Structure 1
């Protein structure tokens, strides 16, 4: 009788431990990054080039398939090179992006900075096409920035749908711009 009681106690204890561990182990990536502050360079690399942990916070922009394609050493090297060249053109750009997200928490300023990045990219490489419109896998019309000097078909999305120094806009891309920059501020804070 006493052995049976101990077994029940053990069983209850084991079930309790399993319950607690399953509850504490279930959290999403956004919660895991809570309190983690990304640099302006990391933010831009994630949003614009699908690089690093920041890109994983934007599945509406970067599908798992695209993230896998962009995780090559060559893609990472090219993105880092481009970011370094952007810093040469505008040394304060990435600090300003970081401040707009973490200190000011201002989606409008983030959008302006991402738009300005297109002008910086154009100075880095005049072959960048600012107005290329295509349909994404999700079926939404987005604006892409093509960096033809990197590779023939290497395409970098700048903020998913931000029209970079472009006169081509419509209501759909404008709404996507607003949503994505708002999501950037919310998900990174």
Structure 2
């Protein structure tokens, strides 16, 4: 039985989360995205800072006929990520181990991939094709496993100022209160819990 595209994506996410932490000596903290409705698989933050990047991870388990790694991403034209803080991460896994990685910011990925109509022309498919050991357009983005964390840190630190939070800004997360039946509870003002 062959690994499905969904499974390959999940494997890529897990490998990326593990190696981002390991190879950055814990400087990078990955967060799983539960609602993957915009293709964002992970968010990786720099520990102690408000800087982060959104990542889409892809795992490939074999080379194509011409000796290249291939991976595709399909979007509606208006939803193709263009922000430099969006990073595509493709990993080649051979003999159960990650061998070669590509960490490509969205503007470069969009420029270097071929684009083809998909799903009856309603969407666009971006085709990534790169050689693991020869020069090609994606060579500047290729790295070894031991350099995944440092390379991500380098990309995040080089992001334009307008992609980083303002100094002193904080990420605020809120939860929606639910009743014991799992329904949303309308909250008026702030209620204190009794001890």
- Structure number with larger C-alpha Rg: 1
TM over 0.5: no
Name the one with the larger helix percent. 1
Please give the TM-score of this superposition, normalised by the length of structure 1. Answer: 0.30
Please give the TM-score of this superposition, normalised by the length of structure 2. Answer: 0.29
Name the one with the larger strand percent. 2
